[in-house]
Amino acid sequence: MAKTAKDMRRNDPERTREDILDVATEEFSEFGLSGARVDSIAEKTRTSKRMIYYYYGSKEGLYLAVLERAYRKIRSLESDLQLAELAPEEALRQLIGTTFDHDEQNPDFVRLVSIENIHHAMHMKRSSEIADLNISVIRTIQDIIDRGLKAGAFKRRADAIDVHMLISAFCFFRVSNRYTFGTIFKRELSEPALYVRHKSMITDAVLGYLRSDDVGAQSGR
Amino acid sequence: MAKTAKDMRRNDPERTREDILDVATEEFSEFGLSGARVDSIAEKTRTSKRMIYYYYGSKEGLYLAVLERAYRKIRSLESDLQLAELAPEEALRQLIGTTFDHDEQNPDFVRLVSIENIHHAMHMKRSSEIADLNISVIRTIQDIIDRGLKAGAFKRRADAIDVHMLISAFCFFRVSNRYTFGTIFKRELSEPALYVRHKSMITDAVLGYLRSDDVGAQSGR
DNA sequence: GTCTATAAAAGGATAGAC
DNA sequence: GTCTATCCTTTTATAGAC
């Protein structure tokens, strides 16, 4: 089974495939599905265009492979969280911080998700791998809410998916809308000072929301 | 100066231009800048491809015209807000509700903004019209915060742009990430029941944030 | 498995008449 | 101002040798 040194050097399918995916991730996240150019991807790989079609069949096939790998990374990240030992408030702080940092540090992923939304999540829907994504983060949040209610730290019986959305929306938007927001408000969202302030803000807002009860009954509008 | 009935029927430049923009808005927001097809736009107008180039010069020129018109609509919407008479909390509720409803009712706009972010807001930056957008909403929020602090309804000396971002992020994300979020969490974000719940949630979260003081000192991470 | 060359098609842009 | 027909570049995809 072991490959000879010669084989390793000449033919390394796994490395070739990964190399292509690395380059393609950059290209798709930079230009979108339609804007990306297969020629341009091929040039930046250590191999040729022929191999892209050999391994991934089509431009869309390559895009899907990129998307699947990006989500696979998330899955492994989420499953690493060990928050059951912490007090509910601290656990939530950690969870929010992790989401915040993840989006901040993975603009490529954020852009791919934006792009996939432009395409109505069509590719994601077709991918059994992504569709079956075990979203452990929801279970984690539900657990934190339950423990918080029991301990009296929280008062609101919030829906875990809603809370996840409140957190995600802010963390995601900061990265996804960095350019238009920065242009309109003359504010560079990548500045370190804002990093700290925004992280505190979303943490305070979510914790405050869970601590209080239904203070904001809807006005009639 | 008055046109004859014959002229009006045969040549109506204004109507032609608007017609093209209507169709182009749909096409660009549906497929993105690179994904949109000029041929496809032309087919759906009551005129021809030649006129698109006649009026807008290029595909990018047309895209920019679409973007500018979309932002012009926002500007007029924001300047219509009359909240100075209301109590700070109620004023904020109204403002959040308006933002929420706007994004909900204008998915085309939300998608165009997402698309423009994929392009690093490059076209927006080049447009003097959009760059000079008078973001009156920030002044409005600052006023609400100031009045709330004075009246004792709020405790936090928050930054108006940050608060706008907290509100926008949630309202925008609900629409922009509808497809991926819906697919992963098996939840249709356009459901009426969620509309009410999510509106309450973001309102409560923002009000709670402003009412309280810096409860969430950062952990050391 | 990998490369070079090329086919096949799509799509942006324009010519020229009316 | 408007239409039809067409140019020509770009881009996806494949053939065929090694």
Condensed to tens digits (0 to 9), the pLDDT of residues B21-70 reads 999 999 999 999 999 999 999 999 999 999 999 999 999 999 999 999 99
Q: What is the pLDDT of residue A215?
A: 56
What pLDDT does residue B192 have? 95
Read off the pLDDT band of A134 (50, 70, 90): confident
pLDDT score at A13: 83
Q: Which nucleotide is nearest to A54 (CA to C1')?
A: C1
H-type helices in chain B, by residue range?
A: 5-10, 13-35, 38-44, 49-56, 59-79, 88-105, 107-118, 122-126, 128-131, 136-151, 160-176, 178-185, 192-211
Residue whose tokens read 């509700």: B97
Band (pLDDT 50/70/90 cuts) for residue B215 is low
Please identify, in words, the CATH class of the domain defined by A70-211.
mainly alpha
A175 has pLDDT over 90:
yes
Q: How many residues does chain B have?
A: 221
Predicted confidence band of residue A217 (pLDDT cuts 50, 70, 90): very low
- State yes or no: pLDDT of A1 exceeds 80: no
Residue with tokens 């290209």: A27
What is the reported pLDDT for B127?
Answer: 94
Query: B186-195: string of b/e by CB count within 10 Å (b at 16+)?
Result: eeebeeeebe
Percent of chain B with pLDDT over 90: 81
Is the confidence at residue A2, as pLDDT, over 80? no
Answer yes or no: is pLDDT of A9 > 60: no
What is the Cα–Cα distance from B62 to B55, expressed in whole angstroms? Answer: 8
* Cα gap B51→B49, rounded to integer Å: 5
The nucleotide closest to A62 (CA, C1' atoms): D12
- Note the CATH number of domain B68-211: 1.10.357.10
Confidence of residue A7 (pLDDT cuts 50, 70, 90): very low
Question: Does A214 have pLDDT greater than 80?
Answer: no
For A52-85, the pLDDT digits (tens) are 999 999 999 999 999 999 999 988 888 888 898 9
Look at residue A221 in the predicted model and tell me its pLDDT. 40
Of B114, B15, B19, B128, the residue nearest B64 (C-alpha): B128
Residue that is written with structure tokens 């008062």 in the block: A155
Predicted structure pTM score: 0.93
How does DSSP assign A154-217, residue by residue? ------HHHHHHHHHHHHHHHHHTHHHHHHHHT--TT-HHHHHHHHHHHHHHHHHHHHS-S--P
A206 touches chain B (CB under 8 A): yes
Q: Which of A68, A72, A126, A177 to mutate to test the interface with B (most CBs of B within 10 A)?
A: A177
Overall average pLDDT of the B198-216 stretch = 90
Residues 100-139 of B with CB under 8 A from A: 111, 113-121, 124-125, 130-131, 133, 135, 138
What is the pLDDT, as a whole number, of residue B34? 97
Q: What is the pLDDT confidence band of residue B76, given thresholds at 50, 70 and 90?
A: confident
Contact list in A for residue B125 (CB cut-off 8 A) is 183
Q: What is the structure's pLDDT at B96?
A: 97
**A contacts of B103 (beta carbons < 8 Å):** none
Interval A85-108: pLDDT, tens: 999 999 999 999 999 999 999 999
Average pLDDT, chain A: 91
Query: Is any atom of nucleic acid chain C found less than 7 Å from the CB of residue A47?
Result: yes
Q: Check residue B213 and give its pLDDT.
A: 84
Boundaries of every domain in chain B: 68-211
